[in-house]
C-alpha cells in the first residue's frame, strides 16, 4: 500500500483472478457479504440555475495502481 493504493503486480492480479475463478459459490457469497454500498438521497446538483436533485449510490473498492512495463 502507498498513499491508499494497493501496489498490484501482474502476478498478484493473476493470482487473485485464479482464486476467484476457482472459488466455490459459498466462498463467493462470503465475499459478497463484505461488500458495502451507501446511497445519498435527494442530493442537489450545484450547477447555476439548476434545481435538480438525484440519488447517488456510493461504493468503494480498493484502489489499485498497476504499472506493467
Cβ 37 vs Cβ 58: under 8 Å: yes
DSSP label at residue 21: H
Between 22 and 12, where is the model more confident? 22
Q: Is the pLDDT of residue 1 over 80?
A: no
Q: By residue range, what is the domain housing residue 30?
A: 5-65
pLDDT of residue 8: 79
User: What percent of the chain has pLDDT above 70?
Assistant: 70
Cβ 10 vs Cβ 64: under 8 Å: no
User: Where do the DSSP E strands lie in the chain?
Assistant: 5-7, 37-44, 53-59, 63-65
Q: Tell me the per-residue pLDDT of 18-41, one tens digit each, with 9 for 90 and over.
A: 988 999 999 999 888 887 778 878
What's the number of domains the chain is made of? 1
> Is-above-0.75 flag for pTM?
no
Amino acid at each position: 500500500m502507498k498513499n491508499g493504493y494497493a501496489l498490484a503486480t501482474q502476478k498478484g492480479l493473476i493470482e487473485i483472478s485464479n482464486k476467484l475463478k476457482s472459488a466455490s459459490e459459498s466462498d463467493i457469497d462470503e465475499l459478497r457479504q463484505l461488500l458495502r454500498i451507501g446511497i445519498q438521497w435527494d442530493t442537489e446538483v450545484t450547477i447555476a440555475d439548476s434545481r435538480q436533485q438525484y440519488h447517488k449510490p456510493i461504493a468503494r473498492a480498493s484502489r489499485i495502481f498497476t504499472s506493467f512495463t
